[in-house]
Chains A and B, each alone.
Chain A
Amino acid sequence: MLDLARRATPVHPHRGRRTADVQYYTQHMSRSSHVHPPAPLLVVIPAHNEAESLAELLPQIQSRGTTVLVVSDASRDATAEVARAHGARVLQLPVQLGAWGATQAGLRFALRHGFRHVVTLDADGQHEPACIGDLLAAQRESGAEVVIGTFPERLSRARLLAWRWFRALTGLRVEDLTSGFRCYGPRAIEVLASAEATLLDYQDVGVLLLLRKHGLAVRETPVQMYPRRNGRSKVFASWLLVAHYMLQTTVLCLSRVGRLSLPRRRYADAPT
């Protein structure tokens, strides 16, 4: 396990604006004595009490030799231990931040450690790890900063209706707004790791709107998905939650109407 952790020492300093995380990396990591071949891809798996699903999922990814980061969102089960046992790197959030907060922690990790591409994957076994290559290929071919893996057949009619509503509100042309199976490029990682993206709650419309605001292209590519192995969607668990989600996301959409970029706040008070 130790060797696994050492092997993929990052070597790609991030170009562009120097955020504190990048600065840390360039100061401390690039001069480190052991410089190994580049490990530009990081698979980020946000997980909240997903020890069982991870035990099935991780071997499938590890066999491909990819660096995996499991972000344990204040899990109370053996999520972190299982992940470590399978050779994954592990971040443990001391306070539960939700799926997006955990994903963003992974993006910050990528920025800090010099990974130039991040693929996010749900821990519950919905997404087929074999399709990671498809996402990367789609990104290479299209040159888009973000590629979303979509599986439209999974959507119920109610959900399709909801997505149509959000598409109409925002003008986004993305078929599957909430898919957590995505590939982010270096510029997207930097934008989404910033404090500006911290108050988002889901990896969906808000993230896409922020990407659009920064002029980053988003593409979709079809992938294989499966029904969740354990449990159901946390967002679509009850009507009350659905109503809350719809309302919150609608307000978010309306507050971002139009492409006029309000002068960007600096969030000087937010810790980097």
Chain B
Amino acid sequence: MSLAFTAAALGLLIAGGILYLVRRDHLHGSHAVWWLLVAAAALLFGFFPSLVDTLGVALGVKYPPMLLVIIGLIALLLKLVQLDIDLSRRERRLRRLTQKVALLEYELHQRTAQGETKPAVEATAVPLTGRKRRQAG
């Protein structure tokens, strides 16, 4: 088995896997764009491994394969930081929404208590175990 074959096979595998995930809607929006770029890079370097050497020489890297590793690491780090930023944003939204649900639920109960409207379903945000307990007691 030659290096060219191994590299191409790996590139195809990575790109194919990512494309499959995007098609199945497991990755959406900006995530899909990022991972499609990764897939493209995997295909490019898989079919033209000599690109690494060319690029290494051009950038003055003495041992070109390291270039690939370093670029990969930097890309991973950037992706991780972006993920944590996204997580923090989501946490903020989740907390605001949780508080809002509680505030609205309070007002809903106020209104039903005043007999203005009766909701078709009892809207309660009590955790399941809490509800059981209330029914029991």
Using a CB–CB cutoff of 8 Å, the interface residues on chain A facing chain B are 2, 5-6, 71, 74-78, 80-81, 89-95, 97, 101, 104-105, 108-109, 112, 195, 198-199, 267, 269-272
Residue among A75, A109, A195, A270 making CB contact with B103, cutoff 8 Å: A109
Bound form: Cα–Cα A104–B99 in Å: 8
Task: Please state if B99 and A74 are interface contacts (CB–CB under 8 Å).
Answer: no
Which 3 interchain pairs have the tightest Cβ spacing?
A: A94-B125, A105-B99, A91-B102
Q: In the complex, what's the smallest C-beta–C-beta distance from B111 to chain A, in angstroms?
A: 11
- Residues of A near B110 (CB, < 8 A) are 5
- Residues of B near A71 (CB, < 8 A) are 102
Q: In the complex, what's the smallest C-beta–C-beta distance from A50 to chain B, in angstroms?
A: 13
- Residues of A near B127 (CB, < 8 A) are 74, 76, 94
Task: Please state if B96 and A94 are interface contacts (CB–CB under 8 Å).
Answer: no
- Residues of A near B129 (CB, < 8 A) are 76
Q: In the complex, what's the smallest C-beta–C-beta distance from B96 to chain A, in angstroms?
A: 4
Bound form: Cα–Cα A93–B93 in Å: 14
Q: Among B21-29, B36-44, B84-92, which stretch is in contact with chain A?
A: B84-92
B62 within 8 A of partner (CB): no
Q: Interface size on B (CB < 8 Å)?
A: 29
- Residues of B near A81 (CB, < 8 A) are 134, 137
CB<8 Å pairs between A and B, sample of 14? A5-B110, A78-B134, A81-B134, A81-B137, A91-B103, A91-B105, A92-B126, A93-B101, A93-B125, A94-B98, A94-B126, A94-B127, A104-B95, A199-B92
Q: In the complex, what's the smallest C-beta–C-beta distance from A130 to chain B, in angstroms?
A: 28
Bound form: Cα–Cα A252–B91 in Å: 17
Bound form: Cα–Cα A93–B88 in Å: 20
B100 within 8 A of partner (CB): yes
Task: Please state if A94 and B92 are interface contacts (CB–CB under 8 Å).
Answer: no
Bound form: Cα–Cα A5–B112 in Å: 13
Interface residues of B in 112-130 (CB under 8 A from A): 113-114, 124-127, 129-130
- Residues of A near B133 (CB, < 8 A) are 76-78
Task: Please state if B102 and A78 are interface contacts (CB–CB under 8 Å).
Answer: no
Q: Contacts A76-B127, A77-B133, A90-B106 hold; do A101 and B93 have CB atoms under 8 A apart?
A: no
Q: In the complex, what's the smallest C-beta–C-beta distance from B62 to chain A, in angstroms?
A: 38
Residue among B98, B113, B134, B137 making CB contact with A101, cutoff 8 Å: B98
